[in-house]
Amino acid sequence: MSAIEARSSSAKEISEETGLNYRSVLYHLKLLEHEGIVARKGGRPYVWFTTGAGQLRLEQLIKESPH
């Protein structure tokens, strides 16, 4: 998630930055989109970004996680 928290990114950029398989990144982005945590804009390539509700949820999860 940190790959799109700082700025909007395409699935390809996230894949390259994280070293994860492109299809895996896209699959998980679509799951996060379904949950309202991220959204996409534009046309191909889509640019993904965290939503306001998604950002709040991430902050809540970080606070709740054991460090």
b/e code 14-49 from CB counts within 10 Å (16+ = b) = bbeeeeeeeeebbeebeebbeeebbbbeeeeebbbe
Position of tokens 């390809």? 12
pLDDT tens digit sequence for 2-44:
555 556 899 999 999 999 999 999 999 999 999 889 999 988 8
- Measured distance CA(19)–CA(54) in Å, rounded: 23
Residue 38: what pLDDT? 93
Question: Model-level pTM?
Answer: 0.74
Residue 35: what pLDDT? 87
Q: State which CATH number among 3.40.50.1820, 3.30.70.100, 1.10.10.10, 1.10.8.870 fits the domain covering 2-62.
A: 1.10.10.10
